[in-house]
Amino acid sequence: MGSASQNEREGEISTAQGAPRAVRDTGVASRVQSAASALPPNTSLSALRAGGQNAGGAPLAPAPGMRIQQYELIRQLGAGGMGTVFLARDTRLGRRVAIKLLQTRNPAFTHRFILEARATARCSHENIVVIYEVGEFQGSPFMVLEFLQGQSLQKLVSGQCLPPARVVELLAPVVRALECAHEQGIVHRDLKPDNILVTDSGTVKVLDFGIAKVLHGQEASPDKTRVGQVHTPEGVGVDLSNLTQNGALVGTVPYMSPEQWGNGVPVDLRTDIWALGILLFRMLAGRHPLEPLRGPQLAVTAFLDEPMPRLRDVAPDVPAALADVVDRCLRKRKEERFPDAASVLRALEPFLPGRYSRDLRIDESESPYAGLSSFQESNAALFFGRSREIGALVSRIRDRPLMAVVGPSGAGKSSFVRAGLVPFLKRSGDAWESLVLRPGRDPLGALASVVAPLMNSSDSLAQDLQEHRRLVARMREEPGIVGTVLRGRARRERKRLLLFIDQFEELYTQVADARERQAFTACLSGIADDATTPMRVVLSIRSDFLDRVHEDERFMGELSQGLFFLTAPHQEGLRDALVQPAEMAGYRFESPEMISSMLEHLNSTEGALPLLQFAATQLWEQRDTARKLLTQESYIEMGGIAGALASHADSVLDKMTPSARVLVRSLFLRLVTPERTRAIVSMEELHELSRDTVELQSVTDQLVLARLLVVQTGSGATGATVEIVHESLIHRWPTLHRWLEENQDDSAFLEQLRTAARQWHAKGRDGGLLWRGEMVEEAQRFQRRYRGELPQVQLDFLSAVVSQAARATRWKRALVVGSMVFLSVLVAASLVALVLIRESKQEADRQAKEARQAEAVAQQSLAVAEARERAMVEAKQEAEAATKQAVEAKQEAEAATQEAVEAKQQVQQALRMSKRDQWRLRIAKKISDKNEKAARQAEARNQRLAEENERKFLEEQERNRRMEKQFGKGGPVPSLFMGMDPQ
């Protein structure tokens, strides 16, 4: 909203609560009432707002897009009794501004307004809205203001009773703004909650010096005629110039001082002191001092003889000294009030947060500083330097059910919520209860541990664990159950619940399963689903992890509207955090230069808060108890802030044995994630780092005592966990940084190894969970280069992986060799079979050729000797039989040749066979054996055929000799075997 938009939108009047019980008839009240009733019945609001002028002239009609000098109107922010406020852009300087256009054309008023607004613009103060320019547009004055976004004090307080420290914290900047204005001789004259803005960043701004009075070195004469304006409950500015010629009624009725009511006493700086007293009374008591009077009835303020009610009578819990300050501000005779704003500020400063409890001394044996640990709610009294940010977050958390405190590591996010926000809410007057958790590796389990005690609990631990597991399973299926339980608890007990999720980035560094992460964020969305519920969820997250939230679009959409960025405290905040805890313990720093040196170093250092707390803790341990001092000598000895942390960690490490240092290195490397954040590790996992658990436990205890590690004792289903005390140790300790750099290449692999070894061991060392493929090669390379210590489970896992890979390699090599030998034998056998088959075929062809020649000779002999036909028939038949046998032998040879070709193809196919086709080799061998057997059989038949032919040949020769003897005398007998080899 704009700097003046809030009060314009809500009207120019802030009335007391309650209904009037009686109207006190006073002279001033009668005059006000008669003036209001004397107005003409047809008088319009625009006429009243124009100072009594009718709309005879052309009225101002500003609209978006209109140009007023270099300012272009964007949209209307609000309207009230004195004018309209627009958001505009400065086209020359490229910034947004708020322009307030006053609805009047009275030249005298315009001239006076411009003069006094220019005088107000001289007030350059961080708590006063900046007036860039004043001028006149179409006969009406306008004012250009800085554009601010936030809430008015009226909306922020909304009639509730606030703790004294918070009231003073909110109004101290207002007093400082008045002090600046009063030094310039300017009286605000209209101080009220609507004119005080608390910006989103927590800064308090005083607005609307539009009716401010400039004192030109003297008070105005009481008999000087002035135009007055009273802001009535209806929000209408009524011209009261006709009521009195002796004074002007200017201001907002509930906050007007006695002199503003026209009692003849001139208005001066102490008028603002009165309005400040009314503000203090209302915020401390929750009501106006003259409750239930309101409107014109409040004219009793002008009666100087009737004192105002005392604050202690209405709010007895307010400290007496603070009540006296308020009562003094509300003295009706202005000479009895504080003379100026500076005096009020000095009276209020002891009641600022932290300072109010200065009389509460802490035990000197306890350090007032947190060191590297986060502040907890129990030591909220020692938490300083964040008042502005706490106020800003409180103002936003009322309208946003889900908030995220976002900042870099070391910004103090956890401390800000635990020791700042939570205690403030509990002191605000509402009944608040806080629940705190960290996601860790099991975010749903952590959330269930918070919710389970609010539900029905059993009597035994076993039943509790079983209920816990059932609740986690139900949360995955029904994420809205958590919100239902928490809202029901809050409504039953009439409380408001704040659920704080600390270290939210652990959801992404500790949880690998995206489904588990989204189940957790779905539960959070179900808790903080509307601003009207009694639930608020606040989470702290490192700014470099903010982009990881988008994986759950619904959660990201809700969270993006509630981002609260927490940066390093300003210098005053750092000074308070450094100095005030020591003062509460009765100590002080030896010299202001020492404080300035520390602050100068912290201003240029990231993660300043933990370093400040640690350095202050080191100084405290070396304090001078006799003089109650934190000395410069101690500060120099510890190497200043830069060397405090590193020197402490190194000194702890130097006191350890070499074997213990090796364990320390392994411990710290295990406690840092690959993303360079803290890892939460169970004690059981740490015991895997060394077989000597006694030494490991001793080293862990030493680091805990040295405040380098912290042990959290778990409850329910969780056990004790260990983590680094603060992330600044990761970035500020050179030794650890060197270890991390040396281990950079192995950090991701070690995380995979831890997870895989844990699963393998949990499943009974199942061989199916061992790595294979590329991971085996990576494991072998890791073993060759890694020189650090590993837990026994991880060593066993790596050994099992390598052994399995070696066995697989040997088996594969043996299988390949066996396959090659078998294929070689098979190929040789096939080649032998092919040679034999080829020789059998050649022999069969030669015999077939000889058979054909024998058949030709026989046919020729039968044609010559017809007489021998009978004798030759048998020979012919036998020759034909021999021919038939030769044909059959040829066919068998051809079949054997075909089978040999098929066997060759099968051999070639066998050469391409894999190990899964080995069974086919046996079939090929059988075929080869069959072919070899067939060849031998063919060879035997051919042998028998040759022997038979030879026998027949001999018989034929014998027969021919006998025939020759028989037919010898008749001439030569033609030979049946003419032309054949006689052998």
Residues tagged active-site: 190
- Report which secondary-structure segment, H or E, holds 542: strand 535-542
> 555: alpha, beta or left, given left = phi > 0 and alpha = psi -120 to 50?
alpha
Helices in 357-386 by DSSP H: which ranges? Answer: none
Exposed, middle or buried: residue 640 (CB in 10 Å: 0-12, 13-18, 19+)?
A: middle
Residue 100 annotated as binding site = yes
Q: By the 8 A CB rule, do 284 and 164 touch? A: yes
Question: What Å distances lie between residue 899 and 782, 836, 848, CA to CA?
Answer: 58, 12, 21
Look at residues 615, 697, 631 and name the one whose alpha carbon lies nearest to residue 660. 697
> Which residue has 């992404």 as its token pair?
508
> Which residue has 């006689």 as its token pair?
982
How many Å apart are CA 708 and CA 701, to the nearest integer? 10
How many Å apart are CA 461 and CA 969, to the nearest integer? 136
Exposed, middle or buried: residue 941 (CB in 10 Å: 0-12, 13-18, 19+)?
A: middle
Q: By the 8 A CB rule, do 95 and 121 touch? A: no
Residue 624, token pair as written in the block:
């001078």
Give phi and psi for 131, each to the nearest 5.
Answer: -100, 115
How many Å apart are CA 585 and CA 581, to the nearest integer? 7
> How many CB atoms within 10 Å of residue 824?
11
Look at residues 743, 719, 778, 720 and name the one whose alpha carbon lies nearest to residue 670. 743
CA atoms 306, 307, 311, 316: torsion sign = negative
Question: What Å distances lie between residue 676 and 14, 441, 741, CA to CA?
Answer: 54, 16, 11
Q: By the 8 A CB rule, do 649 and 707 touch? A: no
Any residues with CB less than 8 A from the CB of 914 and at least 6 apart, and which? Answer: none
Look at residues 352, 349, 353, 358 and name the one whose alpha carbon lies nearest to residue 588. 358
How many Å apart are CA 843 and CA 590, to the nearest integer? 124
How many Å apart are CA 397 and CA 403, to the nearest integer? 7
> 503: alpha, beta or left, given left = phi > 0 and alpha = psi -120 to 50?
left
Strand partners, 97: 88, 146
How many Å apart are CA 919 and CA 559, to the nearest integer? 66
How many Å apart are CA 522 and CA 482, to the nearest integer? 10
> 971: alpha, beta or left, given left = phi > 0 and alpha = psi -120 to 50?
left
Exposed, middle or buried: residue 819 (CB in 10 Å: 0-12, 13-18, 19+)?
A: middle
Give phi and psi for 855, each to the nearest 5.
Answer: -65, -40
> Helix or strand or coil: residue 513?
coil
E-strand ranges in 628-713 read 629-630, 681-682, 709-712
> Which residue has 């862990």 as its token pair?
700
How many Å apart are CA 400 and CA 151, to the nearest integer? 14
In the chain, the amino acid numbered 554 is: R
Q: By the 8 A CB rule, do 617 and 725 touch? A: no
Give phi and psi for 721, each to the nearest 5.
Answer: -125, 155
Look at residues 940, 944, 973 and name the one whose alpha carbon lies nearest to residue 959. 973
> Which residue has 């009773």 as its token pair?
161
Q: Point out the annotated binding site.
A: 100
Q: Point out the annotated binding site for ATP.
A: 100
